[in-house]
Amino acid sequence: MSASFVEQRTGPRYMVHISVRAEWDDERSGEHVVVEGETENIGPQGALVHLERLPDVGGRVRIIVPGDEGRTVEAVAEVLRLERNPVQPLAALQLLGETDEWRGLVWEPAGIKEREADEDYSDYEN
């Protein structure tokens, strides 16, 4: 039996850590959940996010990212998969709907931050 996997990413992922807040309604308890987290990586249509409490796969999450100059980006995302590592639980989130604001205010600046970090480390190479 062979398994095939189709890569569905639409652009590079940037390995940057940005603080985020995630909110969702827990279907089992009816509780409204609000957790703070941090991105592990950011893509043009989503992110891999470290959250202390994880939503359900297939659920909808509102993700809030504080932006530069006081601008906040809010988006609704679907939970694609979870990594239930006790040390660093992760949720893979894919944005639903329009992603232009995400690309311009979160993804593109993440690419700049990643390049700047690489440049800082190159100063130490001899």
The tens place of each residue's pLDDT in the chain, 126 residues long, gives: 444 444 455 689 999 999 999 999 998 899 999 999 999 999 999 999 999 999 999 999 999 998 766 789 999 999 999 999 999 999 999 999 888 999 999 999 999 999 987 665 555 555
Number of domains in the chain: 1
CATH of the domain at 98: 2.40.10.220
- Whether the CB-CB separation of 39 and 18 falls below 8 Å is answered with yes
CA dihedral (68, 117, 37, 9) in degrees, to 10, reads 90
Task: Give the list of residues 6+ apart from residue 74 with CB closer than 8 angstroms, or none.
Answer: 62, 63, 64, 65
- Domain residues for 111? 19-122
For residue 54, is it within any domain? yes
pLDDT of 17: 95
For residue 3, is it within any domain? no
* Strand partners of residue 19: 38
For residue 32, is it within any domain? yes
Q: Token pair of 126, please?
A: 């001899």
